[in-house]
Homo-oligomer: A and B are copies of this chain.
Amino acid sequence: MQNNRQINKNGELQHLLTIEGLPASMLHHILDTAESFVSVTEREVKKVPLLRGKAIFNLFFEPSTRTRTTFEIAAKRLSADVINLNIGASSQSKGETLLDTVNNLSAMHADMFIVRHAQSGAAHLIASHVAPEIHVVNAGDGRHAHPTQALLDMYTIRHFKQHFHELKVAIVGDIMHSRVARSQIHALTTLGVPEVRVIAPKTLLPKGVEHLGVHPYHDLSKGLKDVDVLLMLRLQNERMQGALLPSAQEYFKYYGLTPEKLALAKPDAIVMHPGPMNRGIEIDSSVADGPQSVILPQVTFGIAVRMAVMSILAGS
């Protein structure tokens, strides 16, 4: 996929489709902007007028209350008008093509599309067809990318660890099917993290993953040794029922994060998870709710990061 269309000829962000190919300076610019919004979200009146009168469409071809809500809140705090469209229920079922849907919404003078789609490349396809004044944010496409999730993860790491260039970071779980993992890997390597590990059973680790600049591990205990940051992934239910895994119990035994396993990491290591968690499957409740967990701060920073992305794209 061509990613260069997300940067325009003035070097500005036109769309946010994937982390891949974005320069470190752009990532830092987004994180710095997000920092200025963290305080907005703690004020009595949590609104700034940056996007007043802008029309932002949540185009969710795949349901996700959580992600849709974070974008909706972020947009409303920027004073934008938000229109939620749950597609699949209507126009798609009437046989309209994806691009006809998008062309119609563009003709209504939309300013931004937040796109969630089960197919990899959907956000790119839309971005390649919209008018130049319209911005597209990929809110998760198939197994491909989920850039705002990776950005809020980077914000959280920077918040708790200050610098990227001395960290050991481990991503644990179903790397194979995870758009979150793919975006995290690109973000971490771009920001200069010297050691990124991916830890998974063989059936859930894509072949050749080391070409992305990461170190594969199949043994959780070895992989966690001395790491500063643990990025846990959600195990999709369908994987547990399929042929790729023996059982949820088995998975928890070998790859579930327990206090004992966590003790192998650095004492001040932080634990992250994109949510929603499967407690007792990929993570033990005592870890999820424990002192090293920064899972709820991730959510808080997620609003500020999405405000930052939207205001960089559409702010005047």
A residues contacting B by CB (< 8 A) are: 41-47, 52-55, 63-66, 69-70, 72-73, 76-77, 81, 83, 85-87, 89-91, 94-97, 100-101, 103-109, 237, 275-279, 296-300, 302-303, 316
Q: Chain B contacts of A83 at CB under 8 A?
A: 69, 72-73, 76
> Given A63-B90, A299-B107 in contact, is the A279-B46 Cβ separation under 8 Å?
no
Copies of this chain, count: 3
Asked if residues B296 and A95 are in contact (CB atoms below 8 Å), the reply is no
Asked if residues B47 and A275 are in contact (CB atoms below 8 Å), the reply is no
Give the CA-CA distance A63 to B86 in the complex, in Å: 11
Give the CA-CA distance A43 to B43 in the complex, in Å: 30
Q: Chain B contacts of A104 at CB under 8 A?
A: 66, 275-276, 296, 299
Give the CA-CA distance A278 to B96 in the complex, in Å: 7
Task: Please name the residue on chain B nearest to A99 by beta carbon.
Answer: B289
With both chains docked as a complex, state the minimum distance between the C-beta of A86 and any C-beta of chain B, in angstroms: 8
Q: Chain B contacts of A96 at CB under 8 A?
A: 275-277
Asked if residues A278 and B41 are in contact (CB atoms below 8 Å), the reply is no
Asked if residues B108 and A73 are in contact (CB atoms below 8 Å), the reply is yes
Q: Which of A86, A100, A108, A279 has the most CB of B within 10 A?
A: A108
Q: Chain B contacts of A299 at CB under 8 A?
A: 104, 107-108
Q: Chain B contacts of A41 at CB under 8 A?
A: 109
Asked if residues B278 and A95 are in contact (CB atoms below 8 Å), the reply is yes
Contacting A300 at CB < 8 Å: which of B42, B65, B107? B107
Q: Chain B contacts of A87 at CB under 8 A?
A: 65
Asked if residues A95 and B46 are in contact (CB atoms below 8 Å), the reply is no
Asked if residues B52 and A66 are in contact (CB atoms below 8 Å), the reply is no
Give the CA-CA distance A286 to B101 in the complex, in Å: 17
Give the CA-CA distance A42 to B110 in the complex, in Å: 10
With both chains docked as a complex, state the minimum distance between the C-beta of A194 and any C-beta of chain B, in angstroms: 30
With both chains docked as a complex, state the minimum distance between the C-beta of A181 and any C-beta of chain B, in angstroms: 18
Give the CA-CA distance A91 to B275 in the complex, in Å: 10
With both chains docked as a complex, state the minimum distance between the C-beta of A207 and any C-beta of chain B, in angstroms: 29
Extra 13 A-B pairs, beta carbons < 8 Å, given A69-B83, A73-B108, A107-B297? A47-B52, A47-B53, A47-B81, A63-B90, A64-B90, A65-B86, A73-B81, A94-B276, A95-B278, A96-B277, A97-B279, A100-B277, A109-B303
Q: Chain B contacts of A91 at CB under 8 A?
A: 65-66, 276
With both chains docked as a complex, state the minimum distance between the C-beta of A286 and any C-beta of chain B, in angstroms: 15
Asked if residues B81 and A76 are in contact (CB atoms below 8 Å), the reply is yes
Asked if residues A109 and B53 are in contact (CB atoms below 8 Å), the reply is no
